[in-house]
Amino acid sequence: MMRIDRCHCFRITFAELKAVAEAAGVRDGGRLSAHVDFGRKCGLCRPYVRRMLRTGETVFHKVVTEADEPKPGPSGG
């Protein structure tokens, strides 16, 4: 079964990103990126991080693309 649990480009897991988000009190990807490096290379992890922030999941077993997640709000996603 496929297992997607991290931003490969920046070598950081979604669980680690979630912990940073909780510690910083941020709930969107744009604000999270001010606290930790992820998502600025291939960008494939970004919709997973958005879903993680929305649902709390940190391990995914199917492909999640930008089209699968609600659009980011005015503050970025």
Provide the CA 38 distance to its chain's centre, in angstroms. Answer: 8
> According to the binding rule CB under 6 A, does residue 4 interact with ligand FES?
no
Three-state DSSP state, 16: helix
**Tokens 């490969």 sit on residue:** 8
Cβ proximity to ligand FES, 26 vs 45, nearer residue: 45
Does residue 44 contact residue 69 with C-beta atoms inside 8 Å? no
**Distance from C-alpha of 48 to C-alpha of 6, rounded to nearest angstrom:** 9
Smallest separation (angstroms) from ligand FES to the CB of 32:
12
Cβ proximity to ligand FES, 8 vs 54, nearer residue: 8
Smallest separation (angstroms) from ligand FES to the CB of 27:
19
**Residues between 25 and 64 with contacts to ligand FES, criterion CB under 6 A:** 38-39, 41-45
Does residue 62 contact residue 8 with C-beta atoms inside 8 Å? no
Where along the sequence are the contacts to ligand FES (CB under 6 A)? 7-10, 38-39, 41-45
